[in-house]
């Protein structure tokens, strides 16, 4: 008869030694502890993990074995692993792949992001909007996506064909739960404010395209266009917003990278939105 006892030694080994890697960098999971490792908190209270779907499955396996292990991930800085990886790459190759320009004086790459110039410096471990006030930091997801873009961008032409994240390989598994594309707040903000969406999109270099009730195409990075398509709310249907990517997008990013781009674009729009009147917010 097989024992139903929990394999404690195996569980203990997994929970103390398990590591995972994603666009956020590599982190280690420890059992019953609370510590910072790239802002990882093992709190014993919550299970929420911003990483790849495959990683979440492995972590959940540890949760089942160990019983008491619960994980909460929060990030506020770029992983040192990513900066080291970027620093070790050939400068000329990065410029060619990403369509950026390296400045040897400032030791930074000048990169166009959403119609604005940013300097990404592996030496100083910084991402800065050109002309910004000293000490002012861009949105974290924008920083994260920018560093990963310089690392992973490919010298490939655009396909001109558009697809949702869920249509990429493994997309249906990844883009759900905590990794759903961040459309909800955009739908709340613009569901009855089509003109506001259009005006704000134009201010970020968006180009009006066909689709839905209102649609714009943004060159988030030089090789990564993103489309946002809005269907406004009416008496019968709620508002709906959809992200679309060129089919080449997953050649530059893993799926969690595309999710970070979506978060960054959403945050840029929401953080710059004029105050919305109460009656414009969909119920």
Domain that holds residue 45: 8-73
110, 103 in Cβ contact below 8 A?
Answer: yes
pTM of the model as a whole = 0.73
State pLDDT tens for residues 178-236.
999 999 999 999 999 999 999 999 999 999 999 999 999 999 999 999 999 999 999 99
Decide which of 73, 103, 125 is a domain's last residue.
73
Q: Whose structure tokens read 């406004």?
A: 232
Decide which of 131, 152, 173 is a domain's last residue.
152
Task: Based on the fold, state whether residues 204 and 228 are members of the same structural domain.
Answer: yes
State pLDDT tens for residues 231-265.
999 999 999 999 999 999 999 999 999 999 999 99
Q: Which two tokens stand for residue 86?
A: 């970027």
The pLDDT-based confidence of 23 (bands split at 50, 70, 90) is low
Question: How does strand 40-41 pair with strand 72-73?
Answer: antiparallel
State pLDDT tens for residues 167-179.
999 999 999 999 9
Task: Based on the fold, state whether residues 66 and 122 are members of the same structural domain.
Answer: no
Decide which of 112, 129, 152 is a domain's last residue.
152
Bridge partners of 221, per DSSP, are: 224
Task: Based on the fold, state whether residues 104 and 124 are members of the same structural domain.
Answer: yes
Q: Report pLDDT for 6.
A: 37
Q: Sign of torsion, CA 29 35 38 39?
A: positive
Distances (CA, A) of 23 to 58, 75, 102, 121, 179: 17, 12, 22, 18, 13
Strands lying side by side in the sheet with 162-163 = 162-163, 240-246, 224-231, 214-221, 207-209
Task: Based on the fold, state whether residues 140 and 176 are members of the same structural domain.
Answer: no
């Amino acid at each position: 008869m097989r024992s139903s006892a929990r394999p404690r030694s195996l569980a203990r080994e997994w929970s103390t030694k398990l590591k995972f890697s994603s666009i956020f960098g590599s982190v280690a999971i420890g059992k019953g502890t609370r510590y910072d490792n790239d802002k990882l908190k093992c709190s014993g209270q919550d299970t929420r993990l911003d990483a790849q779907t495959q990683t979440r499955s492995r972590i959940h396996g540890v949760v089942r074995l160990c019983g008491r292990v619960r994980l909460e991930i929060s990030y506020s800085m770029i992983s040192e692993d990513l900066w080291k990886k970027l620093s070790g790459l050939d400068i000329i190759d990065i410029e060619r792949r990403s369509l950026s320009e390296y400045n040897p004086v400032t030791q930074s790459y000048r990169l166009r992001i959403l119609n604005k110039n940013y300097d990404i410096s592996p030496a100083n471990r910084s991402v800065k909007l050109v002309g910004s006030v000293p000490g002012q930091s861009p949105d974290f997801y924008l920083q994260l996506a920018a560093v990963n873009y310089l690392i992973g961008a490919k010298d490939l032409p655009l396909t001109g064909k558009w697809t949702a994240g869920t249509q990429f390989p493994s997309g249906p598994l990844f883009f759900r739960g905590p990794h759903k594309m961040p459309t909800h707040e955009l739908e709340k903000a613009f569901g009855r404010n089509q003109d506001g969406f259009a005006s704000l999109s134009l201010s970020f270099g968006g180009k009006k395209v066909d689709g839905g009730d209102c649609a714009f195409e943004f060159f988030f990075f030089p090789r990564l266009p993103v489309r946002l398509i809005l269907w406004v709310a009416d008496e019968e249907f709620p508002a709906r917003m959809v992200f679309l990517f060129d089919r080449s997008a997953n050649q530059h990013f893993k799926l969690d990278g595309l999710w970070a781009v979506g978060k960054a674009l959403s945050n840029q729009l929401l953080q710059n939105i004029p105050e919305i009147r109460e009656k414009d917010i969909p119920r």
